[in-house]
């Protein structure tokens, strides 16, 4: 996937330009999910 994005970016493809908002949304979602998992883990550890 990363290779495909790099290729589209290098070609200045319209598909890449349209994909940027979706990619940003996915990155934010992943970041949020990691933060939630981290907090849940920390809470679990603190209970023990």
Spatial CB neighbours of 15, under 8 Å, sequence gap ≥ 6: 8
Identify the residue with better confidence: 35 or 15.
35
The model's confidence at residue 20, banded by pLDDT at 50, 70 and 90, is: confident
Task: Report how far residue 26's alpha carbon sits from residue 42's, in angstroms, rounded to the nearest whole number.
Answer: 24
The model's confidence at residue 17, banded by pLDDT at 50, 70 and 90, is: confident
User: pTM here?
Assistant: 0.64
Q: Where do the H-state alpha helices sit in the chain? A: 2-10, 14-47
């Amino acid at each position: 996937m990363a290779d495909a994005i790099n290729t589209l970016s290098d070609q200045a493809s319209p598909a890449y330009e349209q994909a940027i908002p979706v990619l940003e949304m996915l990155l934010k979602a992943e970041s949020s999910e990691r933060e939630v998992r981290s907090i849940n883990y920390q809470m679990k550890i603190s209970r023990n």
